[in-house]
């Protein structure tokens, strides 16, 4: 069975702190895709990143970075120098190539960045 | 600009009533999905479609149905609404296998 676990339900940090959101996934497929989505207080879901299982290179986009480790089945997301606007619910998700686009979501991590 | 829209954005209904949530996308995507979001559960897949006349059940399909008569629309119907179906519903579409999903703004449904 496929599963995504985000063990951190809520995280609270002070602005400018670095924060890492954990994501652990389970699948027996060798080809799969991992995603992160952001859901700000306004409620929409914003796509952040898509990574396939054959590309273990870490990704950096501005203050955001992602660490993909197949050995530990993890796809963690780090925000450097957090800002109040980063406050949101963050979802990690898994898609199998055989599922044609169906995403399996984790439970989400609520990040609160305090000024 | 291409987009995906849901209506209504908010609805309150009574137990036992039929409710239909509309989803319309202008990207010409073949793949469309309905998810529900509940605290502690993340987003769970209700139904999905890979093209016209194609529909499939997801993880939590009981009490819901969909139909796909054209590429643009995937309406979600609750045949007899139950309080357990109080939730936020998201429609999404994608243009390729394992591609990112583009989400609508969500529809908040309250069943009293």
Averaged pLDDT, B92-98: 81
Q: How does pLDDT run across B57-76, given as a tens digit for each residue?
A: 999 999 999 999 999 999 99
Residue of A nearest to B108 (CA): A43
pLDDT value for B41: 83
Q: Where are the beta strands (DSSP E) in A10-101?
A: 10-14, 19-21, 24-26, 32-39, 46-52, 59-61, 64-69, 74-79, 88-96
- The number of C-alpha atoms within 13 Å of B85 and in the hemisphere containing its C-beta is 28
- The number of C-alpha atoms within 13 Å of B45 and in the hemisphere containing its C-beta is 23
Average confidence score pLDDT of chain B: 93
Tell me the CA end-to-end span of chain B in Å, nearest whole number. Answer: 37
User: Which chain B residues have a beta carbon less than 8 Å from that of A52?
Assistant: 98
Averaged pLDDT, B11-28: 96
CB A100 within 8 Å of CB B99: no
Query: Cα–Cα distance between A61 and A110 in angstroms, integer?
Result: 21
pLDDT > 80? residue A6: yes
User: Which chain B residues have a beta carbon less than 8 Å from that of A43?
Assistant: 88, 105-106
Within 10 angstroms of residue A90's Cβ, the number of other Cβ atoms is: 23
Q: How does pLDDT run across A43-65, given as a tens digit for each residue?
A: 999 999 999 899 888 888 999 99
């Amino acid at each position: 069975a496929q599963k995504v676990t985000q063990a951190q339900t809520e995280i609270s940090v002070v602005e400018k702190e670095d924060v890492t959101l954990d994501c652990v996934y389970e699948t027996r497929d060798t080809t799969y895709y991992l995603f992160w989505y952001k859901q700000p207080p306004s409620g929409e879901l914003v796509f952040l990143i898509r990574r396939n299982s054959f590309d273990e290179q870490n990704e950096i986009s501005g203050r955001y970075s992602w660490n993909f480790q197949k050995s530990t089945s993890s796809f963690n997301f780090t925000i450097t120098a957090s800002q109040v606007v980063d406050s949101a619910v963050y979802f990690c998700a898994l898609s199998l190539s055989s599922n044609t686009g169906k995403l399996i979501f984790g439970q989400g991590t609520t990040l609160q960045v305090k000024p | 600009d291409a987009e995906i829209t849901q209506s209504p954005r908010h609805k309150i209904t009574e137990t036992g009533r039929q409710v239909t949530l509309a989803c319309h996308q202008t990207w010409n995507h073949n793949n469309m999905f309905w998810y529900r979001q509940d605290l502690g559960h993340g987003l769970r897949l209700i139904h999905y479609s890979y093209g016209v006349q194609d529909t499939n059940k997801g993880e939590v399909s009981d009490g819901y149905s969909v139909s796909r008569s054209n590429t643009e629309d995937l309406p979600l119907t609750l045949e007899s609404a139950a309080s357990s179906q109080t939730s936020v519903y998201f429609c999404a579409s994608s243009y390729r296998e394992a591609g990112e999903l583009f989400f609508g703004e969500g529809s908040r449904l309250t069943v009293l």
